[in-house]
Amino acid sequence: MKRRKIVRPPRPVLSRAEGTTPSITVASSAGWRYLPLIVLVALAVLIAALRLHTYNEPFERDITSHAVIAHEMLAGRPLYSDLWDSKPPAIFVTYALADALVGYGPAEVYFIGVAAAVITLLGCYWAGSAYGGVTGGLWAAAFWAIICNDLWLWANQPNIEVPMNACLVWAFALMLIEIRRQQTGDKRQKTEDRNPKPVPSTSSGQALSKAEGFSILRWLAIGGLFALATLYKTVAITFPVFLGLFYLLASLRDRRKLKLAFLQICIVAAVGVAAWAAVFAYFAATHRFNIFYDTIFKYAGYYAQSRGGNFLTNILAGLKYEFFARAMKSTPVLIVLAAAGAIYGLVRPRVARASSPWRHGQDGRATEPWLLLIGFLIAAYFAAALPGRYYNHYYQLWLVPLVVGAGWAVGISNLKSQISNFSWLVRPAAGVVGLIILLCFVLPEYRFSADEWSAYKQGPQYIISKTVAKEINELLMPGETLYVLGINPEFYFWSGRRPPTGVIWSTDLANNPLAQEHTRRALADLEREKPEIFVINRLQAQVPPDHPVVEWAQKQYIPLPGNPDRGVLYGQPFFRIFIRRDGKLAARLAEPRNKLRG
């Protein structure tokens, strides 16, 4: 009996223009050509739809601080010399751009979150397909589309790690693409060496670029992306450091390649130095050099040691807090897939397909991408550990290397030699099972309301703040202001009121190297603006009773008539509201018809 031949539909393969660059289309039949584009659009829509669920979530203090400061920047107030925060300027510029585009409030938070997540989604696809083909790229993108909305990582809202990831994934993807381009150039060079042809004379720089496949523009872009990441958060310096070290490590066996790799890393470093020099030059030209320098260096050193540790002890403590973090409870399947892929790629012979453009070792292994991925993971560990705080959103820096590694693990296609005709079924099965497990962790979180998401993150404090801020806004007339002695920039965000001083966090008024200067500025601002309402966060103000701002307020304010306390947190009164003794609000409340009930 003659065996019937099974005809399967053509599978998508990576489209390689000259065997170098991934694409969002595939070189196959018309039915498959736009499959990657369709999937990526669908995943982007999924991200946007999931984020709508928490559109009105009571945001945590970092997010509202970024939004408030950015909004005031657009009103003409200078950063650092007036509006002070310990972070580099990129996050405030990002929020200011969103504010200008979509307006001030929840819309800008939603816009930044979705835009950054989609940019990272595309970067995960490019990085995934640079080694794992279209299959690896699409699985990496799918894993990202789910995990980037995780509750326990606080990933549904755009804290500072969100735009950082958008920069880092594209720097990583461009490194992979450039390495593969160079290796393709090596293969061509070997072919030309066997079949020499006369070529016109060129400059040495052009000859090097052509022989090595070395794109200076691409390495300038890589350096720019790393520099931008550090302008969001200085601990991002760990990423170019460790990715650069592991890139050099991958080139050790070839002295010529090692020299070229060193040159390329020097280009990245030079771009970073130039970017930071330009930023310092800008603040010097606007007479803010000293405060910017103190913010980036003096205050940052204090912050890393403010809980009794130092950079070394923080890194060692990360072994406990990062590997056993509750924030990572949704990621085990990604860790398992990425680890399995790395072991398979680094240890097992002939993991790469014969058509792969990657250079293989003597045993047929393509190790460069996995070495870079390990460098990426180590960099994420250091970046999360260095501040010594271990907040949940810090762990988002692990997500990009994990989803890319998981995509590569699923996309490895040499399984055909091991499993024969069933490889087409087994390969996607690993991804499907992994995605189902990930969905089982993340999707149940969406049965909670937006307020419940906030409560699960850090308790009910932001729900209380949002409610009290809106109540206070009803007490004030247009143009009147309030001041919060606490760590609650969300009061200004939800009330829409402008902060009377740029020193928004009370923790910046005491027990830090810049406290004396901040206190002087805050007192001058408060005396000038004379806010009608003074709110004290009774649990988190973290200033002594004899602090100059407290003593000033005691002379100027009285408790709100009736019951001045609002909210209960951990069984204790949370906020106490005071009104200005001789203020307009006090006069209004003194009228019989406006008496407040306790």
pLDDT for 566: 96
Residue with tokens 């200078």: 78
Look at residue 92 and tell me whether its pLDDT is greater than 70: yes
Report the pLDDT value the prediction gives residue 210, as an integer from 0 to 100.
44
Beta strands 557-559 and 572-580: pairing type? antiparallel
Q: Is 477 exposed, middle or buried (0-12, 13-18, 19+ CB in 10 A)?
A: exposed
Own/partner contacts of 509-513, CB < 8 Å, gap of 24 or more, are 509/543, 509/547, 509/549, 510/542, 510/543, 510/544, 510/547, 511/306, 511/542, 512/299, 512/302, 512/303, 512/306, 513/294, 513/298, 513/299, 513/302
Q: What Rg, from alpha-carbon coordinates, does the chain have?
A: 28
Q: What is the DSSP letter of 403?
A: H
Confidence of residue 408 (pLDDT cuts 50, 70, 90): very high
Angstrom distance (rounded) from CA 167 to CA 229: 6
Q: Band the pLDDT of 346: cuts 50, 70, 90.
A: confident
| pLDDT > 50? residue 462 | yes
pLDDT digits (tens, 9 = 90+) for 538-560: 999 999 999 999 999 999 999 99
Q: Distance between CA 500 and CA 480 in Å, rounded?
A: 10
Per-residue confidence (pLDDT) for residue 180, from 0 to 100? 81
CA 147 centroid distance within chain: 13
pLDDT of residue 147: 97
DSSP state of 448: S
Given a cut of 70, is residue 369 above it in pLDDT? yes
Is the model's pLDDT at 265 over the cut of 90? yes
pLDDT at 318: 72
Within 10 angstroms of residue 286's Cβ, the number of other Cβ atoms is 13
Query: Is the pLDDT at 29 greater than 90, yes or no?
Result: no
* % of the chain at pLDDT higher than 70: 81
Q: Is the distance from CB of 280 to CB of 289 less than 8 angstroms?
A: yes
Q: In 3D, which of 125, 106, 123 has the Cα closest to residue 51?
A: 106
Least confidently predicted of 33-37, 100-104, 496-500, 523-527: 33-37
Q: 589 and 595 in contact (C-beta within 8 Å)? A: yes
Scanning the structure block, which residue is given the tokens 């024969």? 420
Provide the pLDDT for residue 194: 54
Q: What is the mean pLDDT of the chain?
A: 86
Q: What's the pLDDT at 368? A: 86
On the question of pLDDT at 417 being above 50, the answer is: no
Report residue 282's pLDDT band, with 50, 70 and 90 as the boundaries: very high
- Element of type H or E holding 575: strand 572-580
- What is the pLDDT, as a whole number, of residue 423? 52
pLDDT in tens, 44-61: 999 999 999 999 999 999
